Structure 1
């Protein structure tokens, strides 16, 4: 969703648009606001006068739609199921479609709609594909007519909706990758309504196999119960028990296998990551907690997305499902582990002979002479900070220390103003929604809880650059404490915290972040600028390294490594196996739960559609070079659509091209007026010039060579490799690369060698 110039919250020609913020200003609450000190900074416990917190699409305030049992837990907004807890549509107290994959869901008065979309539609004049939610079954309890549905519990990628009405209750547990729905029901018989009269292909009394609309399901009631079929209604007396389950089957022949795990109810889910630094690998284990409701079986079945099964050595079954992300493959067992190479990040590309020192110095001084960060909203302030942050290490490279220090001073001043409550800009904590919002807000960061990871990523990255040169500034007792508050809001790694939810924007199973705080769309949630999400992850790596916080650094490594693989699969279709065959595009501007769109929120301009998942270009963008052929296809499509080379954002697309074909990018820079016009608002000519001409000299990144440092990278041209690393520590470091090369890096410095 990440906002850009002249952005309006309008989805052009797409069917997924559903709700629009009314923008109504609400009373800010009590007149007397307390300032909560954090080091030398502070935030407010009350919104500024005249501003708003979360509202529905009628402009009315909303509170988390959860049961009393979990009322004190921070609600995970910006998740795949957030429309259950965030009542965005004023007339809908249940949910909008929620896409767990392979199943989709929707809460309604009578229970839980369940569907399995195996076919897609291409809509919006060919720019969007959707695997739309359509109910095959509605799971409930006989006589249930609930006035609403609420979240009654959640874990890393599962959630439990809850209904109550007329003396009946229903609690279901659903999740990413789960072919099962686990139901707990009281007050009546289990009742399932099918979209059409089902065909029964297996009947074992309490276990029933049915086909509805070409989809195959298995229904499991407690032992001793029996399913009855009357038209399109299926019911089972639970015999004094309070549970049943339903599974979508890959094919009717899977009935027996799925029956084996019917009563091994999933009660929770958890990811654990381990950065094996010496190997340059990120290992992540995804585990389901289960409880045997009958018998002793505690195993289960779970479907893996492509970004997962492509990186696991765990045994998989032959079962497969269709999904908007491509084929999902099934694992028999309660856990699996993925292992991926880590692509490093750098505070800047290394020094090289390809850069004219005088030209770069002039560009750097130009930035310093005009350095300013206005009092804009959180997004545009962040963009301005990000622009300056990328120039600081370049000033260092050319010895322009006065320019460097001036830019750092401007960055510090604006960060400190934002990090102090009571002024024109501030951060305010909402104790109801457990979130920290910056005011002035923008693009629904207040009313919809959108995009916090996009906005705050720029602040964290800027703070990491300041910390690189002034560690004392970043101490928790100084201004680092407020940086950590922003990190906790957007990417809190603690599951048991009482102030912020676990990894607010990041969906650990989907492998990427979501942008909408409420997910209140017919197509589920969405994310546009995946690169702005990566910007936050890189900021965590760099800020963690600069402050000696290896846990924070490793969190950033996990998030970036995981999202990088999701981006290559689901935004850029690098392996050409994710998008439907009849979808005539090879890149997406935004990913939706139900599919994807070759579009942006604010324009159909090809240059910006192809550029939105590139900006901001930083030392974290190196991961994009893992798929040089995908970059070439992407840019070739852009030129076809555009009728020629880019005009808007052309400098961003040259930088993107430089990750694949640096020589061609340098030629495009020379021919396209590089350095002579105003670049995209988050860019500067100092950075663009340095990026393109450095890569023209060193060659594009070589992701086949890894390192035992997360802030190291290799570049290659012909038979020559350039090794680069930055050492944030206070003592010298030796970095070892996977091809055997070692590089000694002095304390708090960068080093480069060619070999």
Structure 2
């Protein structure tokens, strides 16, 4: 039998296998709790007190002695690389974070930046530009990539800057600055087919890396092809490009733009927008609970540099154009996520159905409640219920494991067990949320982030994985709030929980504490794990499922505390990511993985592609399972297409030549999304002898597989007028589940005509 492996053996941003390191580390790399609406007593800007009280808890505004803060590769402290006029807390965990977080002492500019359809690399002379349109298979076919290829540099005459700094940013755009022999500012962003530049004290200059084929040259507009890729250079209409060798300059001008064109014949479609410069980006969302619909609007702010045209073009990822309410043009680009399609305008809207977030599954009538109670007791009365985990990740997983047992105990009438588990979870949470103890949180004002100590996997020194770690704390707090709303009040322990949520997913763009949506990249539709993104492959996201777990935990905590704004944030994060996870990590529907990539899943999505491997030397079960765990009632999205879920499980067994032996419980739970009876049978055969995954328990696995064996598979054709529901189908018999987090009775209506009335706090079921 295979040895049970740890969940993560190596930090995410340290090279695992040497081959992986060679692929992702660049050569240069190797050489509303702010003072406006803060919880009572919270004033981190004051800097005078080591402990800042927040309700019943608090945090430190001085880093505990001996603990790491944001650092470079050598362990030296790093400060955000920003201009004097930069405003707000410093973002991390972005596709462009290597611009602001200097991980490598020898590279003050940044690593490769993937803002599809473009790729970029900053250097002393400006911004290198490319359009990766062809995939490569590397590492014996384990990774596919669209690598950065330098076609030209956007610069300024005589520019030789000692470093690159961040001047401004939006939700998916960034403005970078170079100073040295003149000043250059460029604005780039995901989905932008234009890159924009402004110069001061130097003339605009675009240098091709090899002799371009110039097919249009008329004053302020140049059209050229290099390496089979097509570009247009736009200077002000009263300026003129002049050529010297492979370089074009626009004497006397102070701005210009560069567009990547699908083909030379598309120049006329781009020219009208050449002087409409993008200055910002923002996503706005609206959740219609009654209609079970999330509407998201992606909006660019633009400024005409001349004339009055303020429109532009936007290239949409597949998960966006598949749900877009706006007409698409015939323009398209290649990308590592599949074909990008273009809309004409500075905004577009997507519409997604929402399929409900439950705090847990109901317990099946046929489950052996005596055995379930005994399995709960094994966890409750274990000599170390937390299994030695004593950092933000492993302690978090233990909190999540214990918290998931609370509603199960409640569902079988085991009140003593429920209350004992609640006390365990409360006690450990309160220890973490109180400053000055062995476990605590610190607010780093330089980087605008909450750092938990003890930390792990670079959560403190690299600002990695905050959504992964803190999601377990929020989930556990949501469970406590379900049974003890007073505990989660703002002036009790809820104030600190909200700070953890805001660290990951602040929504206020004017916050003095945290950057907006740190751990969620709204245009990409998922998060990025690395705080600094210091890789030639861009940033990466391994455990998409832990990002989903944070989203669901946020929604459930908001619901349990009566905070609809927080609930809606969680719904937005969860529904948006659900539209990307199986598509980009599992090639659901086809169109993502390139021809010749002989894997059905990737363990990690990278800026430049996808990699079957993970950050430690794990087996196939872990390559698949890293994007399943932790299994909670919010994991039902993995079964929205039962046939696809079945294909994923079959794919794993084909690779193994048999049943999973590592993380068996996680894979049984995933299998249950397509075949509950088979998953239950495997549990029954092995339940007494297998070792649970660190975040799992036998009691929870038993409840999950036995419930789905009776209820069947997820039925997304039926929706409900509440945020908290699920519908299952078993051979035509439907099971309806809904939860009322409120304090008054709730009538729930399903779109097929079914209905139920729930008492306050009730998780109810009905069948038809």
Deviation by residue 1:380-401 (Cα, 9 ceiling, x = unmatched): 1100000011110000011111
Distance 1:366 1:701 in 2: 31
1:731 to 744, 763, 766: 744
SS of the residue corresponding to residue 232 of structure 2 reads strand
Residue of structure 2 equivalent to 1:77: 92
- Corresponding residue for 1:95? 110
Which residue is 1:389 aligned to?
403
Whether the 8 Å contact between 2:151 and 2:227 is mirrored in structure 1 is yes
Q: Provide the residue aligned with 1:320 in structure 2.
A: 332
CA contact (8 A) 1:116 1:133 kept: yes
Unaligned residue ranges in structure 1 (runs of 5+): 23-30
The one-character-per-residue Cα deviations of 1:699-733 (angstroms, maximum 9, x if unpaired) are 01112211111111111101100001111100000
Aligned-pair RMSD on alpha carbons? 1.6
Corresponding residue SS for 1:248: strand
Q: Could you tell me which residue of structure 1 aligns to residue 40 of structure 2?
A: none
1:165 to 180, 183, 201: 180
Stretch of structure 1 that moved more, 370-379 or 346-355: 370-379
Q: Alpha-carbon deviation of 1:34?
A: 1.1
Partner of 1:17: 24
Measure how far apart 1:107 and its partner are.
0.9
Of 665, 676, 694, the match for 1:681: 694
Q: Describe the SS at the equivalent of 2:24.
A: coil
How do 1:324-339 and structure 2 match up within 5 A?
A: 324-339=336-351
- Post-superposition Cα deviations, 1:229-276, rounded to whole Å, max 9, x if no partner, equal 222112221x3x411000000111110110110001111111100001
Task: Choose the corresponding residue for 1:659, options 669, 673, 678.
Answer: 673
- Which stretches in structure 2 are left out of the alignment for 5+ residues? 1-5, 30-46
Match of 1:718 in 2: 731
- How far does residue 33 in structure 1 lie from its aligned partner after superposition? 6.2
The answer as to 2:303 corresponding to 1:298 is: no
Report whether the alignment pairs 1:577 with 2:591: yes
- Looking at structure 1, the residues matched to 366 and 718 of structure 2 have their Cα atoms a distance apart, in angstroms, of 22
In structure 2, which of residues 109, 121, 139 is the aligned counterpart of residue 106 of structure 1? Answer: 121
Residues 170, 280 of structure 2: 8 Å contact kept: yes
Indicate if the aligned counterparts of 2:91 and 2:447 stay in contact, CA closer than 8 A.
Answer: no
Within-5 A mapping of 1:193-342: 193-237=207-251, 239=252, 241-342=253-354
Tell whether 2:57 aligns with 1:57: no
Shift of 1:11: 3.1
Give how far 1:480 is off.
Answer: 0.5
The Cα of 1:487 is off from its aligned counterpart by 0.7
TM-score, normalised relative to structure 1: 0.96
Cross-structure match for 2:162: 147
Aligned runs of 1:460-539 on 2, under 5 Å? Answer: 460-539=474-553
Aligned residue pairs, count = 740
TM-score, normalization: structure 2?
A: 0.95
CA contact (8 A) 1:351 1:752 kept: no
SS of residue matched to 1:507: coil
Q: Is the 8 A contact 1:368 1:404 kept in 2?
A: no
Partner SS state of residue 427, structure 1: strand
1:442 counterpart = 2:450: no
- Indicate if the aligned counterparts of 2:157 and 2:202 stay in contact, CA closer than 8 A: yes
Shift of 1:19: 8.3
1:34 aligns with 2:50: yes
Question: Counterpart of 1:742?
Answer: 755
Q: How far is 1:483 from its partner?
A: 0.3
Is contact 1:733–1:746 with CA below 8 Å preserved after alignment?
yes
Q: Is 1:115 equivalent to 2:118 in the alignment?
A: no
Q: CA deviation at 1:358?
A: 1.8
Q: What's 1:429 paired with?
A: 443
User: Following the alignment from structure 1 to structure 2, what is the Cα–Cα distance between the partners of residues 234 and 580?
Assistant: 36
Secondary structure in 1 matching 2:23 = coil
State the alpha-carbon separation in 1 of the partners of residues 535 and 105 from structure 2: 13
Higher mean C-alpha deviation, range 5-14 or range 180-189: 5-14
